[in-house]
A and B are shown apart, each in its own frame.
Chain A
């Protein structure tokens, strides 16, 4: 990429064809091309490709934009959509309160142990409430030491983990810690934070056979939790977010945690 001043590399030729060379370098490349017609032909062919690609797709820019892509209209639609979600959430919470009361008063009638999923999600919610409110020591290992954090959490859970990148959703890695989990295993909590201070945590445990792979969503107070598992780990995402936002984050998280799947192609 940074060649000696009189060696011209393929990278220089490419950058020249793409118009990305600075002036001094450009002159050197032009002098070189004058003496190497076969290279000049290659660069000309690349430029012809660029022209063809432009000719193919540039007309799209002057097309009329369909009304459905008007951002103001979409914003309006998104808002009313979110309101609907909010109403649904209220309904869900009311139903849950009703259900919990029913369960509480009926506890003597039927004694049934909590499902493994519920137990995990409860633990994840508790851990979230405990540690996201810690201003000073929210994590044991900061996200700046990603490699160390990854190794340490992977060793603690005996699973190969990766720290999902949520920057596209606006969240930066704060760091992680380990916690005792049910039946003598270890759980890992990984914390993320948005620019506005909003925090999201992932609660990871090694997967045991009794834990289902089905996704489960639950809300408790302000917090929402989304449970998911693959063959290796369970992951519960906790945050003070709408279901749509949770699912957007979830798709990034699950993708990252499933990186070893054969069909996973994108990094």
Chain B
């Protein structure tokens, strides 16, 4: 029992990060994580210790998020948090502008693309792992990623032209 809980605890920082990126609101994100944990604890006897716990937890979280979204709890990101102050990197203004822009651009992506992109890019999941969590074929996952990245690039390109043209 408590061994299971300890293992669950290890995944909370990542679940919070993913939830924050999806909802862009600290309170809603933690509500989502709490719902997810409660559900996981209730269901733990159905979870087979052989499967990866992380994937299972992310699937639960996503399922709740989608249901909540259908119930319009997160409509139009009613209360988007202010952006986090940029971690103390020297590159000041231009980079920071880019961050705000990227954040706004991510919000404009269709749900399915945002879910996929954040699993891979933010949570560092393998394509196979992310496809498993989303229950889609790997090819579908990759085309969603590609579309997401193309859209992000289009949205941010206008003002970011010089930076993106940099070639090594």
Q: Is the interface of A mostly helix, strand, loop or mixed?
A: helix
Chain B residues in 8 Å Cβ range of A170: 43, 46-47
| CB-CB contacts below 8 Å: A43-68 with B | 44-46, 48-50, 52-63, 65-66, 68
B79 interface residue per 8 A CB criterion: no
Q: How long is the Cα–Cα vector from A40 to B168 in the complex, in angstroms?
A: 8
Chain B residues in 8 Å Cβ range of A14: 142, 145-146, 149
- Tell me which of A46, A53, A171, A265 contacts B118 (CB under 8 A): A53
Q: With A44-B168, A69-B12 as given contacts, are A55 and B43 in contact (CB-CB < 8 Å)?
A: no
Q: Report B97 CB to chain A, min CB distance, Å.
A: 11
Whether the pair B127, A15 counts as a contact (CB closer than 8 A) is yes
Q: How long is the Cα–Cα vector from A223 to B2 in the complex, in angstroms?
A: 30
B33 interface residue per 8 A CB criterion: yes
- Tell me which of A20, A40, A265 contacts B167 (CB under 8 A): A40
Q: With A14-B142, A44-B167 as given contacts, are A169 and B12 in contact (CB-CB < 8 Å)?
A: no
Whether the pair A168, B41 counts as a contact (CB closer than 8 A) is no
Q: With A60-B17, A66-B30 as given contacts, are A41 and B70 in contact (CB-CB < 8 Å)?
A: no
Q: Report A267 CB to chain B, min CB distance, Å.
A: 8
Whether the pair A52, B2 counts as a contact (CB closer than 8 A) is no
Q: Report B53 CB to chain A, min CB distance, Å.
A: 12
A72 — nearest CB in chain B belongs to which residue? B5
Whether the pair A65, B146 counts as a contact (CB closer than 8 A) is no
Whether the pair B166, A74 counts as a contact (CB closer than 8 A) is no
Counting contact residues on chain A (CB < 8 A from B), the size range is 35 or more
Chain A residues in 8 Å Cβ range of B46: 169-171, 194-196
A130 interface residue per 8 A CB criterion: no
Whether the pair A263, B70 counts as a contact (CB closer than 8 A) is yes
Whether the pair A69, B34 counts as a contact (CB closer than 8 A) is yes
Query: Quick one: CB contact mask for A226-257 with B, threshold 8 Å, 1 for yes?
Result: 00000000000000000011001001000100
Sample of 21 A–B contacts (CB below 8 Å): A18-B145, A45-B153, A46-B149, A48-B164, A52-B99, A53-B117, A54-B122, A55-B87, A56-B103, A59-B84, A59-B87, A60-B16, A61-B13, A70-B9, A72-B2, A72-B9, A82-B42, A168-B63, A195-B48, A265-B111, A267-B136
A contact set with B: CB distance below 8 Å: 1, 10-11, 14-15, 17-18, 20, 37, 40-42, 44-46, 48-50, 52-63, 65-66, 68-72, 74-75, 77-78, 82, 165, 168-171, 194-196, 244-245, 248, 251, 255, 263, 265-267
